Amino acid sequence: MADQTKSDKVTLEELMVSTLAMTDALAKLMIAKGVITDAEFKNQLGTERGELSRRAKAAALTTMCGRFGASCQYSDIKVLQGDFPGFYPRYNIAPSQDVPVIVRNEDRNQLKTMRWGLVPSWAQDPSIGQRMINARAETLLEKPSFKQLVARRRCLVPVDGFYEWRREGNRKVPMWIYLKNRVPFAFAGLWDYWRDPAGDKELYSFTIITTEANVLLWPIHNRMPVIYDKEMGRQWLEESFGDQPMILAAVLRPWHSELMEAHDVSTLVNSPENDTAECIQSIASSQFRKPQLPLL
């Protein structure tokens, strides 16, 4: 029943965003034909469109994974070379924000800033990214937005933990989920490059791949991000993948629950404006060790 409910939510979210796109396309056509002016469109449909956009964005933010932190030192990531003075520790990263991700560039791996929320190269405008912060591992080869990216545009998202909200009656309790050894790890992801049809804007963006939850996460949420350590991360970046469902299923499995931990944190994390170490501290203890070991 939980899986069916989640599936219905994603379908509704897709419908809302598709409706937004059709509304915008129709408005542009009517304005171009002189049927309606831009001001008339905003007066008559602007309020309804704004509400639809708000609901679509809210639906996207409830998807797993919807928040994470990356307080690791990027200079310690062994798959990378060079200095990264522009990147600093983050504790509460939210969708639509710019995030450093690792990509394969010819024969080397590099760090590149991308927006969280995939905007496919064929999209008419970047608003579609609001609903594409995650991609289900089980259907990557079935979705046009993801199928081609599996073979040529895979990425790693450096993190040291992520958030999920546990229900207790009518309230939601935020939780910080991480590896027991406090070592930074990575999410498996896909990225794409989008350019405005007019040619004056460009955007690099990514999505985080999710799979079914392990034993630790299942009481909290039925999905979890695909997690990689050093060896699996190298494989995801550097090896060849194509339309091979069996191979993809083998490398996009849930991470071992016995290697993970979770604790309750402050509701500070509920607002993306709060981006400090206090977000990840256990509410039961003021002590929390910052990860020190390299990711890869």
Cα within 13 Å of Cα(281), Cβ side: 12
Catalytic entry in 13, 72, 155, 164: 164
- Whether the Cβ atoms of residue 276 and residue 295 lie closer than 8 Å to each other: no
At residue 39, what is the residue type? Answer: A
Catalytically annotated residue among 13, 65, 72, 279: 65
| Spatial distance between the Cα atoms of 51 and 150, rounded to a whole number of angstroms | 34
Q: Catalytic annotation on 72?
A: no
135 in Cβ contact with 121 (< 8 Å): no
Is 164 considered catalytic here? yes
Q: Determine the longest span between alpha carbons in the chain, in angstroms.
A: 64
Burial category of 263 from C-beta neighbours within 10 Å (exposed 0-12, middle 13-18, buried 19 and up): middle
Contacts (Cβ under 8 Å, ≥6 apart) of 14: 131
Nearest to 129 by CA among 55, 192, 70: 192
Any idea which residues carry the catalytic annotation? 65, 164
